[in-house]
Amino acid sequence: MGRKTQVAIVAIVVLLLGGAVAAYAYDGAQKDTIADGVTVAGVDLSGMNSEEATQALTNQVLAPQRKPVTVTFRKQKFRLPAKQLKIRANVQQAVDQALEESRSGSLPTRVFREITGGEVQATVPVKVSYSQKAVNQFVKKVADGIVQEPVDASVAAGPDSLSVVKSKNGYKLRDNLLTEQLNKLLDSGQGTRTLVAKVNVTKPSVTTAEVAEKYPTYLTLDRSTYTLTLWKNLNKVKSYTVAVGQQGLETPAGTYSIQDKQVDPVWTVPNSAWAGDMAGEVVPGGTAENPLKARWMGIFDGAGIHGTDDTGSLGSAASHGCVRMSIPDVIDLYDRVDVGTPIYIG
């Protein structure tokens, strides 16, 4: 081997060694820099050092998580402060992993990639932790705050009127769905911090269309005009002149129902001062001594509707609490009502 050849070989070795040293030094200088193409939780950290990457993740991942979550339903708002959620994120661990991903490959591979502007295709997640108990308690608060029970259609009765109170749908929070939405929001840390609550509609047991079926027969009593009115399917059918309780023994006001029906009822005389010597006696039905003539329809606590032969008392407050009717009228009414028929006395 000639002198010139030896010199050439030495020169080449020196150049190679120099290049290796330079490459090693260059690679070492990049060890604390995140490679291009590395993202953490969707945040591009290319070219950042550990401190810069930590700050960027804190601003873009943790900062939004520190805002409250709001759930709305119509005009209602429910607020869940971030403090209650006790949100934590492994930001530093994610940054360390991003740096580790940046060092993937051999030294020549890294140097070549860095010199030529290549990228590391690496996506690193940030694990966010929070109190599931706080989420569950908040969902229950929302559920309790917006629940509305359905309203059955009903009848609003007056002394001489009937009107239908319309049914209303209720609603109940779709609590499982809201829990899923909150978890998804908190896991990702992305998206709006305001959610709209979704509900399931609950139907009433009695709709407006069905209310007439529920009340095929109804009675109303106007004590001021001594008028008992029969209603069928919420329509006025017939009115009767009656007698009601005298002062001190008034026919009880309120909504009741026909509790029992009897033909030629037995009269058990109340133990009241007005009964005199007959108090407590039992008078057979259908007898002259029995003032409960022909028919009986019990209402409440000994008070009821019955026939009377004292037709002169009709149209006045004359009874001891019962509703008196003429015998033809009480027989007519008796056949038109069933046990359970409601009666409003006003």
Reported pTM: 0.61
Rounded CA-CA distance 223/317 in Å is 8
Looking at residue 222, its pLDDT comes to 98
- Annotated active-site residue in 306, 321, 344, 345: 306
- Annotated active-site residue in 314, 322, 325, 337: 322
Q: Along the 346 residues of the chain, how does pLDDT read in single tens digits? A: 544 454 344 344 444 444 455 545 545 555 778 888 888 888 898 888 989 888 888 887 777 788 899 999 999 999 999 899 998 888 888 888 888 887 776 677 666 666 666 788 888 888 888 999 999 999 999 999 999 999 999 999 999 999 999 999 999 999 999 999 999 999 887 778 999 999 999 999 999 989 988 899 999 999 999 999 999 999 999 999 999 999 998 999 999 999 999 999 988 777 776 666 666 678 888 898 899 999 999 999 889 999 999 999 999 999 999 999 999 999 999 999 999 999 999 9
- Tell how strand 317-319 and strand 244-245 pair up: parallel
Q: Is 322 a catalytic residue?
A: yes
Q: Is 8 a catalytic residue?
A: no
Q: What is the DSSP string of 224-272?
A: TTTEEEEEETTEEEEEEE-BEEPTTSPPPPEEEE--EEEES--EE--SS
